[in-house]
Amino acid sequence: MTPGIATSVRLTGITKSFLGVPVLRGVDLELRGGEVHAVMGENGAGKSTLLKVLAGVHRPDGGTIEVDGAEVSFASPTDAQRAGIAIIHQEFTLLPHRSVAENVYLGREPVRRMQVDRRRMVADTRELLNWLGEDGIDPADNVSSLSVAQRQVVEIVKALSTDARVLGMDEPTAALADHEVELLYDLVRRLRERGIAILYVSHRMREVFDLSDRITVLKDGRFVTCAPTGELTSEDLVRHMVGRDLGEYYPDRAVPDDLGRVRLALRGAGNDRVRDLNIEVRAGEIVGLAGLQGSGRSAVARAVFGVEPFTRGLLEVDGVAQRVTRPRTAVRLGIALVTEDRKGDGLALRQSVRDNTLLVRRAALRGARSRARSDVPALLDVVTVVARGEHQEVRYLSGGNQQKVVLAKWLAVEPRVLVVDEPTRGIDVGAKRAVHEILRDLARRGVAVLMISSELPELIGMSDRILVMHDGALAGELPAGASEGAVMALATGHGVGEVA
Contact residues toward another protein (CB under 8 A) are 18-19, 21, 23, 44, 244-247, 305, 307, 327-328, 330-332, 337, 339, 344-351, 353, 355-356, 358-365, 369, 372, 377-378, 380-381, 384-393, 396, 409, 430, 433-434, 437
Taking the C-alpha atoms of residue 167 and residue 178, their distance in angstroms, rounded to an integer, is: 23
| Torsion-angle region of 30 (φ positive above 0: left; ψ -120 to 50: alpha; else: beta) | beta
Residues 6+ apart with CB under 8 A from 39: 29, 47, 50, 51, 199, 200, 201, 215, 216, 217, 218
SS3 call for 278: strand
User: Is the separation of the CB atoms in 301 and 337 below 8 Å?
Assistant: yes
Min dist CB 110 to another protein, Å, is 36
SS3 call for 418: strand
Min dist CB 351 to another protein, Å, is 6
Name the residue nearer to another protein (CB basis): 177 or 364.
364
How is residue 128 annotated by DSSP? H
Min dist CB 375 to another protein, Å, is 11
Name the residue nearer to another protein (CB basis): 72 or 449.
449
Residue type, 292: L
Name the residue nearer to another protein (CB basis): 20 or 319.
20
Min dist CB 84 to another protein, Å, is 30
User: Is the separation of the CB atoms in 318 and 261 below 8 Å?
Assistant: yes
Name the residue nearer to another protein (CB basis): 129 or 408.
408
Taking the C-alpha atoms of residue 317 and residue 265, their distance in angstroms, rounded to an integer, is: 7
Name the residue nearer to another protein (CB basis): 214 or 409.
409
Nearest to 372, CA basis, from 383, 364, 361, 356: 361
| Segment holding 169, helix H or strand E | strand 166-170
Min dist CB 29 to another protein, Å, is 21
**CA dist list (Å): 105 to 109, 123, 248:** 5, 12, 50
**CA dist list (Å): 41 to 159, 170, 242:** 26, 13, 8
Name the residue nearer to another protein (CB basis): 128 or 412.
412
SS3 call for 421: strand
Min dist CB 353 to another protein, Å, is 7
Taking the C-alpha atoms of residue 479 and residue 460, their distance in angstroms, rounded to an integer, is: 9
Residues 6+ apart with CB under 8 A from 267: 278, 313, 314, 315, 316
Min dist CB 82 to another protein, Å, is 27
Min dist CB 322 to another protein, Å, is 15
User: Is the separation of the CB atoms in 65 and 244 below 8 Å?
Assistant: no
Min dist CB 390 to another protein, Å, is 5
Strands of the sheet containing 262-270, edge to edge, are 277-282, 262-270, 312-317, 320-321
User: Is the separation of the CB atoms in 390 and 335 below 8 Å?
Assistant: no
Name the residue nearer to another protein (CB basis): 193 or 381.
381
Min dist CB 205 to another protein, Å, is 17
Min dist CB 273 to another protein, Å, is 18
The residue length of the chain stands at: 500
Taking the C-alpha atoms of residue 454 and residue 12, their distance in angstroms, rounded to an integer, is: 37
Min dist CB 170 to another protein, Å, is 17
457 burial via Cβ count (<10 Å: 0-12, 13-18, 19+): middle
User: DSSP letter string over 330-349?
Assistant: HHHTTEEEE-S-IIIII--T
Name the residue nearer to another protein (CB basis): 137 or 238.
238
- 280 CB neighbour count, 10 Å cutoff: 16
Name the residue nearer to another protein (CB basis): 111 or 386.
386
Min dist CB 425 to another protein, Å, is 16
User: Is the separation of the CB atoms in 271 and 296 below 8 Å?
Assistant: no
Rg (the chain; Cα; Å): 25
Name the residue nearer to another protein (CB basis): 231 or 245.
245
Biggest CA-to-CA distance, the chain:
82
Name the residue nearer to another protein (CB basis): 270 or 400.
400
Name the residue nearer to another protein (CB basis): 159 or 264.
264
Name the residue nearer to another protein (CB basis): 84 or 430.
430
